[in-house]
Structure formats: structure tokens, C-alpha cells
Amino acid sequence: MSYYQPNHQKSDYNAPYTPPPNGFNNQGPLSPGGFHMPNPSDSSYYPASNYQAPPFHSGYAPTYLPPPTSQSHRGHSPGPPPPPSLSTYPGVSYQAPSSNQYTSYQQQVSLIYFRNAPVPAPVGYDLPPLADISPGYDPTMDIDKIRKATKGIGTDEAALIAVLAHLGSLPMASLSAAFKARTGKSLVDVLNSESSGYFGETLHGLIQGPLWYDVELVRSAIQGAGTDELLLTEVIVDLTPSDRQNLFIAYPMRYGRDLQADIRGDLSAKTERRNVHDDTFSKSSPDNVPVNFQQVENDVRTLYKAGQGKIGTDEITFCNIIINCSRSHLAALCDAYRSKYKSLTKVIKSEFSGHMRQTLLFIVEGAKPKHAMEFGPGVWRDAKLLEKSMKGLGTKDKQLVRRVVRYHWDRPRFEAIKAAFQTKYRKSLEGRIAGETSGDYKRLLVAIVKGGV
């Protein structure tokens, strides 16, 4: 049975990008990410699916099947992928803003999607776009509120929360650009000077927006002594080809350095781990092709021989299969391996250790079909990661801040994460966070989780 519902919409899953002649489309030159906004009025923008599952191979009946080729777009497409529809995350009641609000905007400025959130195409760090960023949103009153909240002795944290916690990615970019144009100061710099602690870190992540916050997190993961490989894994592993392209464009704009060269240099003494991240960056297997079940069976045998079927582990072979196959293939592989031997996650926990184990588990748990039918791909894993940020003695606040801020931009998916959290832990995510945090930091995180105004 497939977790893709009969009315599954287009999602950001691999389709090769074919640029128009001379790099132009009917809206002018392509953005640095190579995309322009599709016409929301086009009936094909959210097509209904008539996908029929193919017959099972050799009697094998997996619980996962890929979406139809005609629907899937993992980034390399003539236009950016639309935000996931509610059918992508079953049971979610969140209503996303109408895409019609972007119709006039697409004629003015290059817009891309990064992790399913609309953002201005990167034109240079801290350089405001040359057009209205978020039609329908006027940042004037919010700028006045922020200036009042940060003026004089002390800071009105409640006012900052009221303004910033509910803004989407485009209004936030609009606010940042308008604030600098009006005051001559960077909103990030102003709030950094007026706030501190984890409250300040959360505000900082919000103001950066999805793309530039990921750029900053990647840099912090590889800068200084040692590598924060868990953070690096969380940022880069789930990148679609278009996300990866835009991250590679934005990183040197801010730091004047090549991202992949920086990662290779930082992991130069850790050959296996470096190879894992190299494979992740170069992965190009499309997720929209039908699963080859014969290849699934071959991979099951190869994984067994490389792992639990021998003394020692052939880490390179094991990693190559897990990292380089498509999500649909990996989901079928998880099913088949569990049916014949045992859970792949159990194998990874017994055969690997340290950061390599973390990376492989992150990939496999993001593809496992067990809960994907109910909540969507990777949602159950991310709900568990949020709980891990708060479990045990002391809260891992840095992880909690990063995960809440990064997850919340894709609001339909975040609502699915909240539903999965409620199902697994029998408590709400906002209630759990409120019990682990305090003060303005708590009020800000809870406001972000609640979302919407």
C-alpha cells in the first residue's frame, strides 16, 4: 500500500531540470536558482492523481510505492515546486495562504522555494531585493513596533514576540529589507544587540529566514575545532537538488568560500565520513521513477553481506547503497530487508557508531514507510528529534531552537509533525516545550509552534 493518497499533489521530488533556450522564460532571466514561479491559476498547478500501483514483483508486497512520474518534482523543474498540499500530510487542518498572492510578485522579482518555503532568490547576503517581496503585507507598522520595543533602556520582548513569531518567510524577508531601507540598520544586528540567550538565538534564526539560516548553520557546523556532524547531517541530508543548488549559491555570497571544499577540508582526517557527505551532496537519484524490485532484492543481499552477514562491516558498500538510492527505493528496501532479516535501523545501530550511525539513521528513518502513510515522509523522524531535544536531564536548547525554527517555515509539514508528536507522546508539542523552557524564550517558542494570526 502506498502512503501517497489518491489525490496526491505535486511535491518537490526529483525531475531533471531542462532550462529554456538561452536561459530565459516568459518572465525574464532565470533566477540564480534557475526557477520562476508557476502560474497559480493554471489548473495543472495542483493536479489530481490517477496513479495506479504497479503489480508486485515475485509475490513481494511492499507497503511503499513511488508517486507517479508525471507528478514528482524534486527541484530541477522549470518552476519551483508548489508548497505541499494538505494531502501530503494527512490529517492536518492547517490552511496555507493562497498562492494567488504571488501572482503580481512573480512579475517583479525572482522567487524560489527552499525547503518548501517561498524565499527571494539569493542575490547577495544582506542585500535587499529590488521589488516588493510580499504583496499584501505592509511592514510599516511592524517596523514602528520593533523600533519602539528596542528603544531606550530595556527591551519589550513581548512586543517582539507579537510581531515576529507569526510571520512567514516572505513577510519576514520584506520586514528585514524595509527595516534596513528605513533605518539604515540591519534588523538582525539590532535584535542581536537587544536580546540574548536562547531567546536571542531564536529571534536571530527567524530573521535570517529559511535559506540564510541554513547557510549560517552549515558554517557553524564546520567552523572552529571539530565538526558538528549531527547539525551538518540535519541541514544537508534532506536537500533536494534545487535546495542544494541554492545553498551552494548562497554560501559563497556570505562567506566568500566554496561550501563543498569547506566540508571536505573540515573532514579531511575522517575519510569515511567525508565520503558520506560527498555522496550526499552529489546524490542525483530521482525519487519519481518506479521502484525496481529486482534491484531492491539485490540490494537486500548486498547490505546483508556488507553488514550482519559478515565479521566486521563493509562501511563503504553499505553507505553507498543507503545514501545513493532514491527515497522511494530506500523505502521499499527498508520493507524488504525487515521482511527477510530485521529492521535496517537495528542493523545500523549494531554495525555502526558515532556520527556515521547518526547520519545513516537520519536517512533511513526519513524514508521508512511505517508512519509515512499517516503523516508524510520524514515527519515521524522529525517529531522524535524534537523530543530528543528535550528528553533526559536538561534541555538541549540549541538543538530545540534550530529544529523548531527550521521546521516551522513549511507550515503544513510542521502541523503534521505536531500531529505525529501528539500521537507518539500523548501530549502536545507546545505543551512539552512550555514544560521544558521558561520566560520570554518559552513564550517565543510556544508562539512559533502555535503559528498563524
Query: In this structure, is the dihedral angle defined by the CA atoms of residues 194, 196, 198 and 204, taken in order, positive or negative?
Result: positive
Mean pLDDT score across all residues of the chain? 78
The answer to whether domain 140-280 and domain 293-450 are alike in fold is yes
pLDDT for the residue 401: 98
Nearest alpha carbon to residue 243 among 436, 17, 55: 17
pLDDT for the residue 429: 98
Q: Look at residue 176 and tell me whether its pLDDT is greater than 50.
A: yes
| Domain ranges across the chain | 140-280, 293-450
pLDDT for the residue 125: 74
pLDDT for the residue 226: 73
pLDDT for the residue 313: 86
Q: Which of 317-326, 330-339, 398-407 is most confident?
A: 398-407
User: Is the CATH number 1.10.220.10 carried by domain 140-280?
Assistant: yes
For domain 293-450, give the fold. Answer: Annexin V; domain 1 (1.10.220)
Mean pLDDT of the region 324-347: 92
Burial class from Cβ neighbours inside 10 Å (0-12, 13-18, 19+) for residue 162 reads: middle
Q: Look at residue 244 and tell me whether its pLDDT is greater than 50.
A: yes
The pLDDT confidence band at residue 265, using thresholds 50, 70 and 90, is confident
Q: Which of 40-44, 225-229, 317-321 is most confident?
A: 317-321
pLDDT for the residue 364: 94
Percentage of the chain beyond pLDDT 90 is: 51
DSSP calls for 162-193: HHHTT--HHHHHHHHHHHHHHHSS-HHHHHHH
Give the pTM: 0.76
Q: Is 153 helix (H, G, I), strand (E, B) or coil?
A: coil
Q: Which phi and psi (to 5°) does residue 287 adopt?
A: -90, 0
pLDDT for the residue 246: 94
The pLDDT confidence band at residue 88, using thresholds 50, 70 and 90, is low
pLDDT in tens, 393-434: 888 999 999 999 999 999 999 999 999 999 999 999 999 999
- CA dist., res. 231 & res. 216, Å (int): 11
Mean pLDDT of the region 8-36: 37
287 vs 264 pLDDT, higher one: 264
